[in-house]
Amino acid sequence: MGVEQKCEAFRRSTPARMARLEGSMKYARSRQTSTANI
């Protein structure tokens, strides 16, 4: 696998990973606030 292909695969997978991480953090934060409101 060439370096360019590795970089391209990394660049393509990173946004999805970041979005998933951000989504899970938002989900955890919303759960914390909802439990705090109760």
Indicate the number of domains in the chain: 1
Structural domain of 25: 1-38
In the predicted model, is pLDDT for residue 4 greater than 80? yes
Q: Minimum mean pLDDT among 17-21, 29-33, 34-38: which range? A: 34-38
**What is the amino acid identity at position 37?**
N
> Would you state the structure tokens that stand for residue 5, as one six-digit string?
């292909």
Q: What mean pLDDT do residues 10-38 have?
A: 80
Location of structure tokens 């990973």: 17
In the predicted model, is pLDDT for residue 38 greater than 60? no
**What is the amino acid identity at position 16?**
A
